[in-house]
Amino acid sequence: DAHEVRYRHQRLSYVVTGSLSLTIACVALVVWLWRRSEQVYLWMGVMQTFWTLYLAVVLSLDPWPGLGNHTMLLLNVLFFMLYAHCFLVFVFRYTGQHWPKVEWTAWGLLAIWVMSLLWGRAVSPWQAQMSLVWGVAVFNCGCLYAMYRGLRTRKPQQLLLGAVCAVMLVVALHDIVVALRYWDND
């Protein structure tokens, strides 16, 4: 049946992506442990860890032991938002930038939002959608900034990151439209 084939292909792509992300996270964190002054590896490792956790929740067929569906939804949006924020800081570190006020503001707003999610009994569909949009917005800001820095500095490694982010921006925009069910795409 065509649905079953699409379902298996999608799960396999998530499993492969999650495995690669976990591998990258482990390598980046080990490198950071050896060279603690290289903050870019810390943020790469943490970012990839949150992406792996996000995919693990997405791939779960049942709630994790001791957790209900509402907690799994909370973990899903939380891991995605943490991934996006870590990505933004990764871009800053990769491009040699430090924006303490922007970073503290972003993390502070995220903390307030997470407290609002924890305040209620369950994450509402509206809160889940807003969390997704928030994460995508922060991620897209990181991509746009990487593209800007690449074009501004013309350094090859920053141009490469900017080019990769341009592709990721297109994919992210596609994914948010599909995730919010504005477009039914396999």
Mean of the pLDDT values across residues 143-160?
A: 96
**Percent helix, strand and coil across the chain, each to the nearest 5:** 80, 0, 20
pLDDT tens string 12-27: 999 999 999 999 999 9
**pLDDT for the residue numbered 179:** 72
Residues ≥6 apart with Cβ < 8 Å to 7 = none
Residues ≥6 apart with Cβ < 8 Å to 25 = 44, 45, 46, 47, 48, 49, 52
pLDDT tens string 37-90: 999 999 999 999 999 999 999 999 888 898 988 899 999 999 999 999 999 999
Is residue 186's pLDDT more than 60? no
Q: Which amino acid is at 165?
A: C
pLDDT tens string 84-114: 999 999 999 999 999 999 999 999 999 999 9
Round to whole Å and give the CA distance between 42 and 32. 6
- Global pTM? 0.91
**pLDDT for the residue numbered 120:** 76
Is residue 182's pLDDT more than 80? no
Mean of the pLDDT values across residues 110-138?
A: 90
